[in-house]
Structure 1
Amino acid sequence: MATVSADKPRYVTLKILMPNHKSSETEILIHKHLSENASEDPRSRHVTALLDEFQHEGPNGKHRCLAFEPMGATATSLVDYLTGNNPNIELLDKNNPPEEEYSDENDSEEEYFDQDNPQIIYSAVRYPKWIAQKILGHALRGLAFLHRNGIVHGDLHPGNILFSIDNIHTMGENELLQDEASTKIVVRRVGEERGRSTPMTLFLAQYLHKHIKLDSRLVIKLSDLGASFWVDSPPKQTETPIALRSPEEIFGQNIGTGIDIWVFGCLMFEFLTGNKLFSVIKWGPDPEAQESADDGHIMQLNEIISPLPDAMMELWPRSSECYGPNSEALNPFGDEDAYVCDSIEKKFHNEKLPEIDDEEEAILMSIMQQILVYDPKMRPSAEELLKHPWFADQEVDGPQQAMD
């Protein structure tokens, strides 16, 4: 984070792009296009705004530098500091959100899902329902703004969903200084001399979570449009995290705004349970590893969501290795028994947040079932989803509107 000297000095977050990176120009053009249309749509406040951009020449070449509004923490990181995940933080009341800021004096003692060892699943780390609902509602508003302007986010995941900081520009620099002692890493090159472009020191990210106020003024925004693209000019390959890929991405079909909507459906399950909907891991960069990950993902789609249509099964060259002649699941990975996943209905019922009663469970399950369909043309748009009472009743969009 940096400060900008001007008539009204302010803090900004700098994103320094790789030199001569092809997507850099697209990202800047997209941000400029959004800036031109932001004033017409109050949902624009749910996408981080580009404030300025400039060029910096370094040892690796010329870098485009983008200046954004500062944000507090990601939806991935902040959850570690909530009650139940950190016993030293006061309980969050869904009906009376607290005004105080949150501290990180002690690390969470909760255990997590180990992505490197998928057999080990620990107790869930999750948000209270009122925060989960705001995350989803605000993310959906951000998607609606992007899609209305012909833009696909392309890399939606909890790490690109950010919490805002209230009144950051009134804080002194000492309040925001990074704790170098706990985040500094000295770089040592093994076996080779240090190159002129090799950094001597690295600093771990230090989120500003303690400056976030989880109250009625909370605003959540989508960030990082580095993988975004125009609807009419999709890339050959997307940056979607492997377990959040839509069926059309897995099968190499045409893509559009539907890939964002699919991810949103997966994130609904994740934020309302604390667990990922799909467990997909790629064990290496080679084609065989990709095929193995795809097979596991497709089998989970078939078991968790619904049986794949025949036309989609025909696009899957290894389907006969995964399913027998009577559609029985086989195990392509060599173990004796095939692992059969529970359906999304059963998973959600067993893993949902305790605040969700049976009536609300049915409502949420209906929304996810509408979203998580294999044909992207049949998925509801972000605009249509916002009309649903579960999202529409949260708030009326507008810069002066307080959130309940």
Structure 2
Amino acid sequence: MSSRQFSLASCQHASRLHCHRKRITWWPFFGTKSCYVHTTCNSSSVTVEERPERYRRGGYHPVYLGETFNNKYEIISKLGYGVYSTVWLAKDLTSQSPHHVALKILTADSYGCSKPVYELDILKHISQTDPSHPGYKHVVHLLDNFIHEGPNGKHLCLVLEVMRQNVYNLQQSFPNKQLPVHIGRQITKKILHALDWLHDSCGIIHTDIKPDNILIEIPNVNEAVQKHLNQMKHSNSGQLEDSGLTSRSIATDVVTETSKINIRITDFGVASWKDDQLTELIQPPSLRAPEVFLGAPWDSSVDIWGFACVIYELLQGRVLFRGRPGPKDAWTAEEDQLAQMIELLGPIPVSVRKRGKRSNKFFDEEGNLLHIKQLYPYSLRDLLAQTTNTSISKEDYEKFEAFLRAMLQYEPRDRKTPKELLEEPWL
């Protein structure tokens, strides 16, 4: 039995993709091991921290509790980190009433160096664009910005609104990691309003829509911050030996099946203008549109393909596409992911393949994959029939299937726009 056949059997489906993704990753950290740890929704989330070797020339800026930035922002606690930044809860010392912000400090080599980053320009632009649009309130906005010089170089600092945990953390708190359909619909509508505004009003493609970049709004920031600080005082998990602070998201009330939530899209670090794209290779691999794999031109519809994968994952508790390399490198993870797409959605059209500069890396002249000869076709309906999400009715699933199909089109121009998707029966 080949490894692809084995995966088929073990997942009880046509692709090993549908085994549940393991998102816990172990990293060495000061001679110990730290992992992504999630507690319940009514407590803070503690995460593995950035690698200490990234605190070097051109890397992260070392930050200390109580430190003041720009003579205005006092650091209170650490909220999180990313590949190109750390994020801190800070108090605005110039405000007469308590006012808290999120201070995002970029690595020194991520801004103003040889590689372009549009984040500051994009954040300034969206904060000034059509605030009457319903999508405006579903994006995290820039409050201030400045340059801070430290031992590792000059760092762009972005002052943003404070949010609570991300939707990935929220998803983990529900049975089988499946959001109730009521919550899923709320998130979907608000994301689509935000994308409609970003694409059409702002001329921006996010390129990185994923559960980690969808944050939940805090109804009362000052109250939530005070509760957060009280929890920090009574917990030793705020410290890692020899290493500064761990990240802790701000806790608020438990989200239940009937909760009403507001969300915001964040992190425009790899976003692009529609007419001036940052790079050819975009999106996390599991959410990547086929034209990006093939090296074909891409447009704002990549956000639609990516969001289809996101909402499937949030409601089903598993990833839609995730390529893995074959035994002894018989095929690459990229080719495997294209195979998964073909198994689920059928052959990639000639028109799409012809536009791709990298198509000959994956396909022969007849459109067959070069290294994966045996495919196991199945339908989206078959896949959805395996669900264990009891909050979704059979009728709902038929509408949900049609909703996904409207986004999972190989030809970018055939994907429905955010405005069109908001009219879909599932919503």
Q: Is the Cα–Cα contact under 8 Å of residues 324 and 334 in structure 2 kept in the other structure?
A: no
Q: Which residue does 2:239 correspond to in 1?
A: 184
Q: Which residue does 1:304 correspond to in 2?
A: 344
Q: Which residue does 1:92 correspond to in 2?
A: none
Unaligned 5+ segments in structure 1 are: 85-123, 188-200, 392-404
Superposition pairs of residues 127-276 of structure 1, within 5 angstroms? 127-148=179-200, 149-171=202-224, 173=226, 175-176=228-229, 179=232, 181-187=236-242, 201-211=243-253, 217-276=260-319
SS in structure 2 of the partner of residue 225 of structure 1: coil
Aligned pair 1:15/2:104, yes or no?
A: yes
Q: Is the Cα–Cα contact under 8 Å of residues 151 and 231 in structure 1 kept in the other structure?
A: yes
Cα deviation, residue 52, structure 1: 1.1
Cα deviation, residue 281, structure 1: 4.2
Superposition pairs of residues 314-393 of structure 1, within 5 angstroms? 316-319=359-362, 332=372, 338=374, 340=376, 342-351=378-387, 353-391=389-427
Q: Is the Cα–Cα contact under 8 Å of residues 3 and 9 in structure 1 kept in the other structure?
A: yes
Letter in 2 for 1:69: E
Aligned pair 1:4/2:92, yes or no?
A: yes
Q: Is the Cα–Cα contact under 8 Å of residues 166 and 213 in structure 1 kept in the other structure?
A: no
Unaligned 5+ segments in structure 2 are: 1-88
Cα deviation, residue 306, structure 1: 1.7
CA distance in 1 between partners of 2:168 and 2:421 (Å): 24
Q: Is the Cα–Cα contact under 8 Å of residues 3 and 11 in structure 1 kept in the other structure?
A: yes
CA distance in 2 between partners of 1:310 and 1:171 (Å): 54
Cα deviation, residue 227, structure 1: 0.8
CA distance in 1 between partners of 2:157 and 2:198 (Å): 22
**1:278 aligned to 321, 338, 353, which one?**
321
Q: Deviations over 1:237-256 (max 9, x none)?
A: 34411011001100111111
Letter in 1 for 2:239: K
Letter in 2 for 1:307: P
* TM-score, length-scaled by structure 2: 0.69
Q: Which residue does 1:29 correspond to in 2?
A: 121
RMSD value over aligned CA atoms? 3.0
**1:66 aligned to 137, 153, 158, which one?**
158
SS in structure 1 of the partner of residue 426 of structure 2: helix
Q: Is the Cα–Cα contact under 8 Å of residues 129 and 272 in structure 1 kept in the other structure?
A: yes
Q: Is the Cα–Cα contact under 8 Å of residues 239 and 246 in structure 2 kept in the other structure?
A: yes
CA distance in 2 between partners of 1:298 and 1:126 (Å): 26
Cα deviation, residue 212, structure 1: 5.7
Cα deviation, residue 172, structure 1: 5.8
Q: Identity percentage over the alignment? A: 28
Q: Deviations over 1:105-159 (max 9, x none)?
A: xxxxxxxxxxxxxxxxxxx321111111112222112211211210000111111
Cα deviation, residue 343, structure 1: 2.6
CA distance in 1 between partners of 2:363 and 2:128 (Å): 51
Cα deviation, residue 217, structure 1: 4.5
CA distance in 2 between partners of 1:273 and 1:163 (Å): 20
SS in structure 1 of the partner of residue 103 of structure 2: strand
Query: In the superposition, relative to structure 1, how do residues 160 and 291 fare at CA in structure 2: closer, same or farther (>3 Å)?
Result: farther
Q: Which residue does 1:109 correspond to in 2?
A: none
CA distance in 2 between partners of 1:290 and 1:225 (Å): 36
Q: Deviations over 1:147-190 (max 9, x none)?
A: 12100001111110111111122456464367362142235xxx
Aligned pair 1:52/2:144, yes or no?
A: yes
Query: In the superposition, relative to structure 1, how do residues 330 and 153 fare at CA in structure 2: closer, same or farther (>3 Å)?
Result: closer
CA distance in 1 between partners of 2:264 and 2:300 (Å): 18
CA distance in 2 between partners of 1:358 and 1:246 (Å): 28
